[in-house]
Structure 1
């Protein structure tokens, strides 16, 4: 028997939900608890049957209930009084619709405490997890609880082993992802992506008698975590153990239930970023598909006060992906490796000096990034964007050290015959094997390139430019040594529309303004702020001279008795301030004018060199070549970004001019023939 025959049977339960007026997007929340119930029951029956074979049915019957409970409890797979003691299952309960309500409630309450918590049988304060109690209440209100439960009771998973049940579970979760767009990205990583991740991991591990510990900090329902483990177990005899944590109640419950039927698997509930349940553990392998673009503002203080040392830098509060990345790196043991799924923002968001850029730099400085793989668009169920696999490795081979490989696998896919939500493509087996082969060989191909890690670094050199006039002069040259500006004592200021003749104002129009401060805020301050010497004819008159800015020649001008002096490029700065009364002076408005050099802060992006001396020489040579104005060096910040488009961009081949002209001639001839037809 093929267990996937039950996939259709399971989805027949959705027909009843549809007929009851339940929206399609809500189906997963109705189906999750019952699917979990069916899985648990089948495994408990199979476990109990195995126990009978192991110690004998007669011997088992003689064991006191308390000892039997302890014996089964030690297996860590749960307990149910109806199944173990009364030998009754959902099928038996659904035989009698009259007693069903009472029997079903007793059946659910017959589970051990942990299972009841996961299913949400006794819902009070706190987590509801799968919330089967809430679902039952809604189905009762629709008067379809018995019919719905009976359909699930007909799904007999008892003949199948854990691996087969897990396969069915993955197929069902995938379909949930198809119809539940708002949670699909969190709920399910496609099988083909999981397979590729597993192929990458298996290409880097070896047979060993040591335990292989696998960790997923955002494990959801466990698809990726358990899927990777199963694929490793198919290729290696090495013992594996899975660890996972998730904050979503229902998905955690599904993963937790699944974990109970895997050797020593540990699944915990909670927010990994603020409550790491495995704080004292390190792992051989980490995998994750953390949520994209999800804000961590709700627990910002906890992150900022984190004492674990996990978060070297804190990225923008609007996107926590790089928080998860730092956490995962902190969980790797000395020789650990991992594969993490991200969207494109982690490659290039944030300028040099930002937390995002600094995290990327820290990762490359640590030489932990072995490769980044661009996946095709339309790979996930609820997004058509490009996604990327970051391959992390703390035990790089010698030829990979201090290097990063970029693999553009955007064309390595097979179109799906039928779209699944936004998913229209899959990385098929041949493509997966080709990608892994390329990664293993670590050599340049037509779709992959190996770079020294510093290739992704750049200098963001800040400089202070001194603007000059058409003769190359700056007002800076007119200043006395040590002075940054020349203060004027004006007697008049004009902008062509209005004149100011007072520069210390103590009186105001009491009919229009309530106070001198009111006059300042409403009249003087806005006027002073509006003065733009480059756009208006702002003229400053002192007792000895007039000053203005000559826009045509880009210079300040000083005129004394008709004689003009060009002062060089500079600024006219008009400031106004309100001063409260003091012991020696009354309340007043003060207006001041000064001339300053015209400085302009600028940034230049310059290639980076590993050697400090060579790097500085590159900066000097670049600025000498491209900057013609006088300037002073300011801070230099080293940034890191990865730009797949820039590296793998292939310009469209232009058509020959002769071909274009020939086509135009043909079109013109066609138009003439059409015109002739109209005339006739």
Structure 2
């Protein structure tokens, strides 16, 4: 009976004891363990492939095969080659038996691999791409004088009895622990098994048995756990031939995924930055899935993206977060009937105001009717973050056109018996099936709602308000039809602290001031800049009248011949400008004063209606109900956000007042009793 492969997880992790013993930091363990895990994984699969090939040919025919024919047969499998294993019949465990020849044999063993395997392991690396960098790791371990012991620990891990699927499962668990302890790039999250299972269930629910090839793509595949995990689970649920495609630019994770891909029937893994160098630019896929990094800047390749000619990116989001770049890329890779499930954090739902790139991307997605559902997962679901995460379900072949379902699965989980880093919960099988059934039925229930897509749209209507005083008056009533302001010719300005009486300073004034610019910067400009008609008692005096602003009544005041007149709400605008000399006037500083109406730009958020006439009517009805001041319409921008709190928020039930009073009386009596006891 073949044992459960996960029993080997602790044995593999025990190899790190030697690393701890020679002072290597825990955060560095993954870089030391990855190449040796890959080595053991490759060897076990090559030996298994060799045994299967032998059984397939039969013992009698096997005896007649020449060495050259054997090599050709093995190479035709496309899974790799190793001269020590196939020609000398020696494995890593055999090499570790002789400590005297170990160094030479181990070097020969590593160089006995085929060229691609050596590249992925980093056997001959001198510069450039190192991938798993086994050469560098060996040098460091050798310096610690534990290379033989460390290699021997790994050679004792025998994975030969297990098939590809079982080894992939083990690999996922090991990579998860690496992700948990390593100082990963900000925003990179390892996708846990239960989330992979949920994604696979969603995809499988929309796929039928067929002879047609199913092409599955992950644009940020990492070590392949999500891509291959989805493939394996789909094949259990649906009778379909599958082909996987993935790309990643992390050297070590790409190498692990590439090695894994060679032991699968049909898989292509490429290395590079998907956003700037799409290795599958001519391909479209039936299924896309990804868990792209959260909140990671794309500033390092901003120029490339702004000059991108592929037309993948309708809008470029904030440079501090590239999630929606990956989303747009994935949508561009879907074929005519393609679908996908993409993991994001909450920022893709609501970041950016109306008119921003983020809002425009969401609007473009909903306008294109490609979003079928968004599913909120529980917190504490991932290994190194406790935040809410969301599954975007994309579908070019939606049955319910122009509708989107929100599923609040935040309570659909089972607590883990033992925490795994930040992961304290898992979406168990019963919950997964329930979520998929809800999505399939596409009707409201207590944790899911179906909306017309326009529910998520909103109008951001800009208006220009004309502020009025307590009597509802505005200074605009004192202006002629073509006027925007009333210009004054002041003889004196006072702001309660200083008085300014000189309004045109010429070269004559240089006898009193060493520099005209110095006067402007150090004397007049601070005076003008400090003026605030609402806070300082600014008084403007002309030959005819005196003007000020009454903050209590919010109105401009004109005083002439002892009579005060309220002019309505407005502003006193004072400006100073340095003017160059002209033919008729010398170089000078000019101060101007104007009275203007008090305008204020404002924005109103108003529900959106699909019909243009109905939408305009809704905006006008909103304004009539809520805006009491005179205003003019400015631009209207339609934004999109998806707000789970708005839909699923349940206010805390308030306690009955009688119960609260009863509790207060009880506490009062308890306090009196305690006071009496203390007095005794």
**TMscore range, shorter length:** over 0.9
User: For 2:186 and 2:61, how far apart are their aligned partners in 1?
Assistant: 48
Match of 2:550 in 1: 550
Residue number in structure 1 paired with 2:324? 322
Query: Residue 4 of structure 1 aligns to a residue in which SS?
Result: helix
- Counterpart of 2:635 in 1: which secondary structure? strand
TM-fit CA distance, 1:512: 9.5
* Structure 1 residue corresponding to 2:228, chosen from 220, 226, 230: 226
Q: Is the 8 A contact 1:408 1:448 kept in 2?
A: yes
Q: Residue 209 in 1 paired to residue 202 in 2?
A: no
Secondary structure of 1:95's match?
coil
* Equivalence for 1:561: 561
Aligned residue for 1:471, secondary structure, equals: coil
After superposition, residues 97-136 of structure 1 pair within 5 angstroms as 97-136=99-138
Equivalent in the alignment of 1:154: 156
Q: Given that residues 507 and 586 in structure 2 are in contact (C-alpha distance below 8 angstroms), is that contact kept between their aligned partners in structure 1? A: no
* Structure 1 residue 84 displacement after superposition: 1.7
CA, structure 1 residues 70+669, in 2 after alignment: closer, same or farther (shift >3 Å)? same
CA contact (8 A) 1:182 1:382 kept: no
Which residue does the alignment assign to 2:386?
Answer: 384
SS in 1 for 2:621: helix
Query: Would the aligned equivalents of 2:407 and 2:449 in 1 still touch at CA under 8 Å?
Result: yes
Give 1:622 deviation, angstroms.
Answer: 0.3
Contact 1:187 / 1:251 at 8 angstroms: preserved in 2?
Answer: no
Q: 1:512 to 1:84 in 2, by over 3 A?
A: farther
Q: Distance in 2 between matches of 1:513 and 1:173?
A: 74
For residues 380-429 of structure 1, what are the alpha-carbon distances to aligned partners after superposition, in whole Å with 9 as ceiling and x for unaligned? 011000000000000011xx211110110000101111111100000011
Q: For residue 92 of structure 1, what is the aligned residue in structure 2? A: 94
| Alpha-carbon distance in structure 1 between the residues aligned to 2:168 and 2:19 | 24
Answering whether residue 105 of structure 2 is matched by residue 81 of structure 1, we say no
- Equivalences for residues 614-625 of structure 1 within 5 A: 614-625=614-625
Which one of the candidate residues 395, 398, 417 is aligned to 1:396? Answer: 398
Within 2, Cα distance between the matches of 1:470 and 1:120?
A: 79
Q: CA deviation at 1:88?
A: 1.1
**Matched residues in 1 for 2:514 and 2:101: separation?**
84
- Distance in 2 between the 1:74 and 1:585 partners? 92
Residue in structure 2 matched with residue 53 of structure 1 by the alignment: 55
Question: Per the alignment, do residues 305 and 544 of structure 1 end up closer, same or farther by CA in structure 2, a change over 3 Å counting?
Answer: same
Q: Which moved more, 1:71-80 or 1:110-119?
A: 71-80
- Tell me how far 1:65 sits from its aligned partner: 5.5
The alpha carbon displacement at 1:184 in A equals: 9.2
Q: Structure 1 residues 509 and 666, CA, compared in 2 at 3 Å: closer, same or farther?
A: farther
**1:179: how far off?**
2.2
Q: Closer, same or farther in 2 for the Cα pair 1:376/1:514, shift >3 Å?
A: farther
Alignment of 1:628-643 (within 5 A): 628-643=628-643
After superposition, the CA RMSD in angstroms is 1.6
Find the aligned partners of 1:6 and 1:478 in 2 and give their Cα distance: 87
The whole-number CA distance in structure 2 between the counterparts of 1:60 and 1:509 is: 110
Rounded Cα–Cα distance in structure 1 between residues aligned with 2:514 and 2:121: 70
**1:301 aligns with one of 300, 303, 306:** 303
Deviations 1:254-302 (A, max 9, x none): 0000000111200000000000000000000000000000000000010
Shift of 1:62: 6.2
Tell me the equivalent position of 2:606. 606
Q: Which residue of 2 aligns with 1:469?
A: 469
8 Å Cα contact 1:187/1:220 also seen in 2: no
Which residue in 1 is equivalent to 2:238? 236
TM-score, length-scaled by structure 2: 0.97
Distance 1:251 1:512, change over 3 A: farther
Counterpart position of 1:669: 669
1:187-202 matches, within 5 Å, as: 188-202=190-204
In structure 2, the partner of 1:500 is: 500
- Per the alignment, residue 282 of structure 1 pairs with 284
CA distance, structure 1, for counterparts of residue 109 and residue 661 of structure 2: 82
Where does residue 171 of structure 1 map in the other structure?
173
Distance 1:528 1:187 in 2: 54
Q: Which stretch shifts more, 502-511 or 102-111?
A: 502-511
Structure 1 position 85, deviation (Å): 1.5
Separation of aligned partners in 2, 1:267 and 1:62:
37
Residue 237 of structure 1 and its aligned partner are, at CA, apart by 2.2
**Structure 1, 238-247 or 182-191: larger mean CA deviation:** 182-191
Q: 2:675 is paired with a residue of what secondary structure?
A: helix
Please say if residues 94 and 149 of structure 1, whose CA atoms lie closer than 8 Å, have aligned partners that are also in contact: yes
Mark the CA change 1:633 to 1:129 in structure 2 (over 3 Å): closer, same or farther: same
| Aligned-residue offset at 1:236 | 2.0
Range moving further from structure 2, 368-377 or 551-560: 551-560
Q: 1:513 Cα shift? A: 6.3
Q: For 1:74, what is the secondary structure of its paired residue?
A: helix
Q: Deviations over 1:60-108 (max 9, x none)?
A: 6766666554443332211111112211110111110111011101111
CA distance in structure 2 between the partners assigned to 1:71 and 1:279 by the alignment: 33
Cα pair 1:547 1:556 within 8 Å, conserved: yes
Bigger CA drift: 615-624 or 24-33? Answer: 24-33
**What's 1:292 paired with?**
294
Give 4+ residue runs of structure 1 displaced > 6 Å after superposition: 508-513
Q: Which moved more, 1:161-170 or 1:264-273?
A: 161-170
* 1:128-184, Cα deviation, whole Å (9 max, x unpaired): 111111111111111111001011111111122111111111121122223225359
Give yes or no for contact 1:374–1:408 (8 Å, CA) kept in 2. yes
| 8 A Cα contact 2:443 2:450, kept in partner | yes
Asked if the contact 1:185–1:382 (Cα under 8 Å) also holds between the matched residues in 2, the reply is no
Within 2, Cα distance between the matches of 1:651 and 1:128?
A: 55
Contact kept? 2:363, 2:639, Cα under 8 Å: yes
Q: Distance in 1 between matches of 2:508 and 2:74?
A: 92
Does the Cα contact within 8 Å between 1:321 and 1:342 map onto a contact in 2? yes
CA contact (8 A) 1:288 1:340 kept: yes
Deviation string 1:471-515 (CA, Å, 9 cap, x unpaired) is: 211111111221111111111111121111111112598799652
For structure 2, the 5+ residue unaligned runs are: none
Give 1:585 shift.
2.5
**Helix, strand or coil for the counterpart of 2:128?**
coil
What is the aligned length?
A: 678
Residues 184 and 261 of structure 1: CA distance in aligned 2, closer, same or farther (over 3 Å): farther
The answer for the alignment partner of 1:269 in structure 2 is 271
Distance 1:597 1:401 in 2: 50
Distance, in Å, in 2 between the alignment partners of 1:105 and 1:494 is 89
8 Å contact 2:493–2:539 — kept in the other structure? yes
